[in-house]
Chain A
Amino acid sequence: MHQTAEFHKRVKDALNNSQLRSNFRVAMDGLMEKRSNAFPDKQFLEELRITGSKLRANALVKQADLLEQLEANCTRNGIKVHWAETIEEANHIVLGIMDSHNATRMIKGKSMVSEEMELNHFLEAHGKECVESDLGEYIIQLDHETPSHIIAPAIHKSKQEIAKLFQSKHPDIPYSEDIETMTRSARQILRSKFYDAEIGLSGVNFAVAETGTICLVENEGNGRMCTTAPPVHIAVTGIEKVLEKLEDVPPLLKLLTRSASGQHISTYFNMITSPRKPGEKDGPKEVHLVLLDNQRSKIYEDEELFDSLRCIRCGACMNHCPVYTKIGGHAYGSLIPGPIGSVIEPQKFGLDKFGILPTNSTLCGACGEVCPVKIPLPKLLHRLRYEQVRNDHTGATNGQGSRRSAKEAMIWKLWSWAHARPAVYRTGTKVAALFRGLMPNKMGPWTRVRTAPKIAPKSLHELAREEGFDNE
């Protein structure tokens, strides 16, 4: 299978890259410790997670009504609302807005939805300049890469690698491996980009239906710059980000920043409710909100999988995932990596394309344990394993049954037959014990790094009988 072979190749490359391995190990250890320190009281954390999950679930249950309310309130406030079913539609909406202003220069705040849209590629193909302003996004844009983590896009790079990258792209700036110096260099470079940009683009963390307010969480100030300095601001969001009330924001914000990076609050929390009003001396004169579906309403159809839409994109599941920590974000081959990516991306793009991802988990449960909105990630990964091999064609998931192989199905059928018949099972174990001397020492990939397990001369069934333990 093509996708499987490519996936395993990426995994091998990642595992063999000791610099990458160490970058992720160190960063994930740090992020886990920060989160843990931010939640010293486990009872408080548990109650907050319950609240958070209910607030998100409530908003999803009422999603259609809330989207209409959001639209009505935004429109009343002067924000122009656009709806897009596909990423193509969303890209054309953004392009249309730029063209209507004869604009060619866009400055971007961090937005995973714009990554999902591959907006930069699209706009550049139409002759527009898009500059990423989040430091991490800026770094990976310089190196023509995609994010390897949803909140720390350049986490896979060491400071030395970044210093070399800066030097090759900006030879006029003195070489430095000092993080603060590199950060200030980026400030200098990007300041003129903010100054010149005709369009500012941002993502959305929460969209509040009650007041028609777009909320943005950030630390660098680039999000505020993108939404304040250029004359036009475009916000792009998935339709699932809507919340019912303004008072739903604080508990979710608390969960988001603490789960993501252990911060009690981000440096900035920016709430935008309208374009510049008469008399106001700054801020964009036009604000647009693009609501993107791209399969979200399809995910919504399934009673169990719809829980994945609760996600507030904190990244805690990947920080705590032992698999993600080993292979990093790029190996997944999907935009969103880690456990939540392995749940969402196959649903969006099809199990035929990303079916390998739900199998790429030990189901250890670390992700589900830390999810701030209690998404049952192991359960959903498990469900998608079923969807990809089931053959009754009744579920709605994209690419259902696409990874079913006749050989594997036959093995499990035989296995089931033998383990549902005690006499067959007992005979089987007896035969195995009898011929245990013939057990191969090489058992495929297992014994590349391990010794082969040894079958015992007598099974527990036999020992129990011999030791006089009752059968009933």
Chain B
Amino acid sequence: MSLVKHYPDKPQKVYFFGTCLIDMLYPEAGLAGMQLLKREGIQVIFPQNQTCCGQPAWNSGYRDETPAVVMNQVRSFPKDYPIVVPSGSCAGMMRHHYPEVFKDKPESDLVNAFSERVFELTEFLVHVLKIELKDLGAPTKVALHTSCSARREMGVADEHESLLRQLGNVQLVEQVRKAECCGFGGTFAVKHPDISAAMVADKAQAITETGAEQLVSGDCGCLMNITGHMEHKGIGPKGQHIASFLWERTHASDS
């Protein structure tokens, strides 16, 4: 893997892949992501045939049950527009693992071409759209949890941070061991609930100790895990997807 990534010029149209978790549980985050893109003057297309990236089966070892789901996404995004994904985890699956799913299969060229068009939302905002944000919100303290896939697989931890740092009234605070996993890990949380619980407890405590008024993450899996635990214990700040947070703070409300 090369250390330098190449980004395209600003396109006229992009596809948006909302992810199944956002679709069902955090649709406002998906909508905010699309609005951020649209505000930059590009047309955002949301193919209604999209479902799930296929990661749950893939990471559970069910490799034979994965290709059909992957192929549904490949077919649902047929034109050569960039595909923007508001999740490091799903983007990582689509960018780095789709080629593995179809390795040595006849559809491999088609799938590889698809994967090269996949971008995580924050990297797309920073590097392709070179977005400039104006903070309209009140002063606040924010903690950021960057998902492991956003950090290590997609390499976009800096992009998450740089977007938040553009917001003049936002003070970004850092929790201890910020690069440590929150313990979600998809089916890991179900198969190893005790370890997952211990991990999220430590993560939630670290975030609570920062005194942040708000937790922000680029991945709803982590968010569901961490805020779910904090709500259960009655500690810590509220959580929000980074897209929702950025949109809310920079969007001049018309009403």
Per-position binary interface string of chain A over residues 376-416, scored 1 when its CB falls under 8 Å from any chain B CB and 0 otherwise: 00000010011111100000000000000000110011011
A451 within 8 A of B: yes
Contacts of A447 in B (CB 8 A): 232
Q: Complex: how many Å from CA A46 to CA B155? A: 15
Contacts of B187 in A (CB 8 A): 359
Q: Complex: how many Å from CA A330 to CA B202? A: 21
Q: Complex: how many Å from CA A388 to CA B63? A: 11
24 examples of A-B residue contacts, CB within 8 angstroms: A360-B195, A363-B185, A385-B59, A385-B61, A386-B63, A389-B62, A409-B62, A415-B57, A432-B24, A444-B190, A447-B232, A450-B229, A452-B228, A453-B25, A453-B228, A455-B25, A456-B25, A458-B27, A460-B18, A464-B16, A464-B18, A469-B34, A470-B46, A472-B79
**Residue pair B46, A416 in contact (C-beta under 8 Å):** no
B108 within 8 A of A: no
A419 within 8 A of B: yes
B56 within 8 A of A: yes
Known contacts being A419-B69, A470-B46, is A450 close to B195, with CB within 8 Å? no
Known contacts being A327-B195, A385-B61, A413-B65, is A461 close to B72, with CB within 8 Å? no
How near does chain A come to B83, taking the closest CB pair, in angstroms?
Answer: 13
**Residue pair B180, A322 in contact (C-beta under 8 Å):** yes
The number of residues on chain A lying at the interface, defined by a beta carbon within 8 Å of a beta carbon of chain B, is: 70
Q: Which of B30, B45, B191, B200 contacts A463 (CB 8 A)?
A: B30
B245 within 8 A of A: no
A366 within 8 A of B: yes
Q: Complex: how many Å from CA A448 to CA B56? A: 22
Which residues from 16 to 71 on chain B have a C-beta closer than 8 Å to any C-beta of chain A?
16, 18, 20, 22-28, 30-31, 34, 43-52, 54, 56-57, 59-66, 68-69, 71
**Residue pair A463, B31 in contact (C-beta under 8 Å):** yes
**Residue pair B64, A390 in contact (C-beta under 8 Å):** yes
Q: Complex: how many Å from CA A463 to CA B23? A: 9
B76 within 8 A of A: yes
B172 within 8 A of A: no
How near does chain B come to A89, taking the closest CB pair, in angstroms?
Answer: 34
Q: Complex: how many Å from CA A326 to CA B56? A: 24
Q: Complex: how many Å from CA A133 to CA B59? A: 43
Known contacts being A364-B181, A419-B51, A455-B24, is A469 close to B225, with CB within 8 Å? no
Chain B interface bracket (under 10, 10 to 19, 20 to 34, 35 or more): 35 or more
B148 within 8 A of A: yes
Which of A8-16, A105-113, A165-173 interfaces with chain B? A8-16
**Residue pair B231, A363 in contact (C-beta under 8 Å):** no
**Residue pair A412, B193 in contact (C-beta under 8 Å):** no
Q: Which residue of A lies closest to B224 (CB)?
A: A453
**Residue pair B181, A366 in contact (C-beta under 8 Å):** yes
Central interface residue in A15, A368, A451, by most chain B CB within 10 Å: A451
**Residue pair B232, A451 in contact (C-beta under 8 Å):** yes
Per-position binary interface string of chain B over residues 168-208, scored 1 when its CB falls under 8 Å from any chain A CB and 0 otherwise: 00000000010111011111111111111111111000000
Contacts of A369 in B (CB 8 A): 152
Which residues from 1 to 31 on chain A have a C-beta closer than 8 Å to any C-beta of chain B?
8, 11-12, 15, 29
Q: Complex: how many Å from CA A461 to CA B24? A: 9
Closest 7 CB pairs of A and B: A362-B185, A445-B193, A450-B228, A385-B61, A364-B181, A364-B148, A365-B152
Per-position binary interface string of chain A over residues 431-472, scored 1 when its CB falls under 8 Å from any chain B CB and 0 otherwise: 011000000000011111111111110111111110101111
**Residue pair A472, B188 in contact (C-beta under 8 Å):** no
**Residue pair B193, A450 in contact (C-beta under 8 Å):** no
Q: Which of A364, A453, A464 contacts B185 (CB 8 A)?
A: A364
A195 within 8 A of B: no
**Residue pair A449, B51 in contact (C-beta under 8 Å):** no
Q: Complex: how many Å from CA A463 to CA B202? A: 35
Central interface residue in B3, B193, B233, by most chain A CB within 10 Å: B193
How near does chain A come to B41, taking the closest CB pair, in angstroms?
Answer: 15
Known contacts being A385-B59, A464-B46, is A326 close to B25, with CB within 8 Å? no
Given A386-B63, A462-B27, A463-B27, 8 more pairs with CB closer than 8 A = A11-B192, A11-B195, A322-B183, A362-B181, A368-B152, A390-B61, A469-B34, A471-B48
How near does chain A come to B233, taking the closest CB pair, in angstroms?
Answer: 8
Q: Complex: how many Å from CA A46 to CA B49? A: 42
Contacts of B27 in A (CB 8 A): 456, 458-460, 462-463
**Residue pair A416, B185 in contact (C-beta under 8 Å):** no
Q: Complex: how many Å from CA A421 to CA B52? A: 11
Q: Which residue of B lies closest to A387 (CB)?
A: B61
How near does chain B come to A354, taking the closest CB pair, in angstroms?
Answer: 15
**Residue pair B185, A450 in contact (C-beta under 8 Å):** no
**Residue pair B199, A322 in contact (C-beta under 8 Å):** yes
Known contacts being A419-B51, A451-B231, is A15 close to B198, with CB within 8 Å? yes
A83 within 8 A of B: no
**Residue pair B232, A422 in contact (C-beta under 8 Å):** no
Q: Which residue of A lies closest to B61 (CB)?
A: A385
**Residue pair A365, B153 in contact (C-beta under 8 Å):** yes
A185 within 8 A of B: no
Per-position binary interface string of chain A over residues 107-124, scored 1 when its CB falls under 8 Å from any chain B CB and 0 otherwise: 000000000000000000
**Residue pair B194, A460 in contact (C-beta under 8 Å):** no
**Residue pair B45, A471 in contact (C-beta under 8 Å):** yes
How near does chain B come to A383, taking the closest CB pair, in angstroms?
Answer: 9
Contacts of A420 in B (CB 8 A): 51, 68-69, 71-72
Contacts of B52 in A (CB 8 A): 419, 425
Contacts of B244 in A (CB 8 A): none
